[in-house]
Structure 1
Amino acid sequence: MKASLIEQEEMRLALLRGYNILDTAPEDGFEEITKLAAEICDVPISLISLVDEDRQWFKAKVGIEIPGSTIENSICAHAISGDDYLEIGDTSKDARTDTNEFVTGDDSIRFYAGALLEDGNNLPLGTLCVLDKKPRELNDFQRRALQTLANQAMRQIELRKALADAEILRKEVDHRVKNSLQSLEALIRLQVRSEKSAEARAALDAVQGRLATISRLHEALYLTDTGASVNISPFITKVVQSAQEQMPHGVTVNSKLENCNLTSRSASSVGMIVNEAMANASKYAYQDRRRGTFSVTGKHEGGFYHLSCIDDGPGLPDGYSNDTGLGMRILMAAAQQLGGEMTSPARDIGTEIKVVWQVEP
């Protein structure tokens, strides 16, 4: 017997499809709920069943292999057209299910209990249900537990949608920030062309360079696309690839970094360090040179992460200090944001910018 439609069926279907959960891959949170429901109710089969227009689809399942069934064979469709809980002690003796193929066929489903998955307006998406191959009934504790687990499954569905919506919003903000930075760079370039003072042009060029740096870092973070936690190995690889454009053509840039997860803010500081070190090397180490090698390395040592940016140029001039120049001040500020320390270890050849910070276990 096919279930009757609810009064708000079109709205219910729009709600279900708006969650973008149909035909998605298995997820641990839903699988754990079905396993717990089967164990508490002492049944061989448990399902999170979402009822679409012409089918039911199982987001999670225990004791059954099929991904779903037609709406004609959906007992859950009867559940969503009634109260918030449906229990059928013997499906072969109930007019709603006695001709169901799961009941009359080889599966021989004889017992069904389902608690609705409802949104805040009491529109049902489907059920968390348990099934058995023999007639039976649940006790009061099992019924309460099934309804509680159904509520938890619905919270999982809502949380899943909220995270997806937040990700869409983040990408939209990223896109707008990128466009704003590009527009600001263009305006500064126009101002540079119209500026007669060489000193003013140099200052505007420096501002434009910093904006380009921020734009590259933002783009690299956006392409990494890992949300709040960023693995700096692939992230810095993207930063290096982007910043390499400012190096002379004959300079080779190598990067080799061990994995390290940081917040996006901390990862941005690391990106600023690498980008600024490359900019300084391009300006001082490789000026008027056609060949060279710039290396970026990162590794874990004793609870700390060691990041080094090394050029093979002429080295730091005599009397040089870390508070000299805007570039070095930017490097030091970025290191402080990491809670780390920046040094320039002495080398026989070239210059090394080294930043060390403590990492979480």
Structure 2
Amino acid sequence: MKASLIEDEEIRLALLRGYNILDTAPDEGFDDITKLAAEICEVPIALISLVDDKRQWFKSKVGLSIEGSQIDDSMCAHAIAADDYLEIFDTAADPRTAGNGFVTGPDQIRFYAGALLEDDNKLPLGTLCVLGKEPRQLSDFQRRALKVLAVQVMRQIELRKALADAEVLRKEVDHRVKNSLQSLEALIRIQVRKEKSPEARAALDSVQGRLATISQLHEALYLTDSGAAVDIAAFLKKVAHSTSEQMPDGVQIEINLEQANLSSRSASSVGMIVNEAMTNAAKYAYQGRKRGAFNLSGESRDGFYHLSCIDDGPGIPDTDPSGTGLGMRILTAAAQQLGGEMTLPHRERGGEIKVIWPIID
């Protein structure tokens, strides 16, 4: 017998579909609850059943191999119609389930108990249910446990939706910030073309480069599927490509970066380091030359990430790395934000800015 569902059925169905859980992959968190329900209730079959308009779909299952069934064979639909916990001691003797395919077919289900999966407004998505092949009754303890586990299933569903909603919001924010920063970059480029003072043009170029770094960070966050973690290799390649526009045309840029995930804040600091290193090289390393080389490399070693920015210019003067210029202060501050250290290793030819920081999983 097909169950007649609740008066607010359209609202219930909209709620169910709004959770975006139908036809999703198996989830260990749900499977653990289903297994526990089967063990506590001492039955061979336990299901997390979500009841749609024409079918029921099993988010998690123990003892059955099928993914779901037509709504006509859904015992869980009767639980929703009853608007409460439902226990059928003998499914073959109950008129609601006597003709059910799970009862008359090869599964030969003779017992059913289902606790509703309800939201805060008491609208049910489905049930956490247990089934057996012999008529029986659950003990009071087993009934209470099944209801408690159903509440935990619903909390898991709501938590996953909250995380998904937060991810959508985060991506939207990153997308809008990126667009706003790119608009500001465009305005600065227009001002650079109008500006006659070389010093002012250089200052605006520097600001534009820093904005580009932050914009690319937000683009990386928007495109990634790993939350607020950024693939540092892919991100720095974009930073280097953008900043390379400040380099003379004949400068060859070589990039060799090992992949590592960083938080958005750490990635911002690393991006600033690369931007400042390349900007500094563009100003001082290739004066009077049409050709040159710049190498950006990074690798994970012994729990630390080693990043090197090397040019083939006259070298960096032997000064205190803390320096007095804005660029050097930015480099030092960025390294400190990473919990790392910046050094200027001596080289026979060229200049190197090296930053080492701990990798935190």
With the length of structure 2 as denominator, give the TM-score of the two structures.
0.92
Aligned-pair distance for 1:246?
4.4
68-77 vs 79-88, which deviates more? 79-88
Aligned-pair distance for 1:60?
0.9
With the length of structure 1 as denominator, give the TM-score of the two structures.
0.92
Residues 170-218 of structure 1 deviation map (CA, whole Å, 9 limit, x = unaligned): 1111111111112212222333344454443333333223222322233
Q: 5+ residue gaps in structure 2?
A: none
**2-side partners of 1:196 and 1:254: how far apart?**
34
31-40 vs 236-245, which deviates more? 236-245
Q: Secondary structure at the match of 1:23?
A: coil
**1-side partners of 2:331 and 2:94: how far apart?**
75
Q: Quick one: percent identity of the two aligned structures?
A: 72
Residue 339 (structure 1) aligned with residue 339 (structure 2): yes
Aligned-pair distance for 1:6?
0.6
Residue 323 (structure 1) aligned with residue 327 (structure 2): no
Which residue pairs with 2:55 in the alignment?
A: 55
Q: Secondary structure at the match of 1:91?
A: coil
Q: Secondary structure at the match of 1:2?
A: coil
Which residue pairs with 1:42 in the alignment?
A: 42
Which residue pairs with 1:255 in the alignment?
A: 256
Which residue pairs with 1:297 in the alignment?
A: 298
**2-side partners of 1:315 and 1:71: how far apart?**
76
Cα pair distance change 1:160/1:339, threshold 3 Å: same
Q: Structure 1 counterpart of 2:337, which letter?
A: Q
Q: Secondary structure at the match of 2:262?
A: strand
Which residue pairs with 1:96 in the alignment?
A: 96
**1-side partners of 2:200 and 2:271: how far apart?**
28
Aligned-pair distance for 1:319?
5.3
Matches within 5 A, 1:179-328: 179-247=179-247, 248=249, 250-257=251-258, 259=260, 261-287=261-287, 288-301=289-302, 303-317=303-317, 322-328=322-328
Residues 29-55 of structure 1 deviation map (CA, whole Å, 9 limit, x = unaligned): 111111111111111111111000000
CA RMSD of aligned residues (A): 2.2
**1-side partners of 2:218 and 2:114: how far apart?**
48
**1-side partners of 2:103 and 2:37: how far apart?**
21
Q: Structure 2 counterpart of 1:177, which letter?
A: V
**1-side partners of 2:290 and 2:35: how far apart?**
66
Q: Structure 2 counterpart of 1:224, which letter?
A: T
176-185 vs 115-124, which deviates more? 176-185
Which residue pairs with 1:167 in the alignment?
A: 167
1:221–1:235: 8 Å Cα contact kept in structure 2? no
Cα pair distance change 1:241/1:183, threshold 3 Å: closer
**2-side partners of 1:280 and 1:124: how far apart?**
62
Q: Structure 1 counterpart of 2:127, which letter?
A: T
Aligned-pair distance for 1:324?
4.5
Q: Structure 2 counterpart of 1:72, which letter?
A: D
**1-side partners of 2:317 and 2:125: how far apart?**
70
For these two proteins, the number of residue pairs brought into alignment is: 359
275-284 vs 86-95, which deviates more? 275-284
**2-side partners of 1:344 and 1:63: how far apart?**
64
**2-side partners of 1:193 and 1:313: how far apart?**
28
Cα pair distance change 1:134/1:240, threshold 3 Å: farther
2:114–2:129: 8 Å Cα contact kept in structure 1? yes
**2-side partners of 1:156 and 1:118: how far apart?**
12
**2-side partners of 1:177 and 1:59: how far apart?**
37
2:110–2:133: 8 Å Cα contact kept in structure 1? yes
Aligned-pair distance for 1:308?
2.3
Aligned-pair distance for 1:277?
2.0
Which residue pairs with 2:128 in the alignment?
A: 128
Q: Structure 1 counterpart of 2:253, which letter?
A: T
Aligned-pair distance for 1:128?
0.6
Aligned-pair distance for 1:293?
4.4
Q: Structure 2 counterpart of 1:344, which letter?
A: L
**2-side partners of 1:16 and 1:195: how far apart?**
59
Aligned-pair distance for 1:250?
4.5
Cα pair distance change 1:97/1:318, threshold 3 Å: closer
**1-side partners of 2:223 and 2:284: how far apart?**
30
1:40–1:142: 8 Å Cα contact kept in structure 2? yes
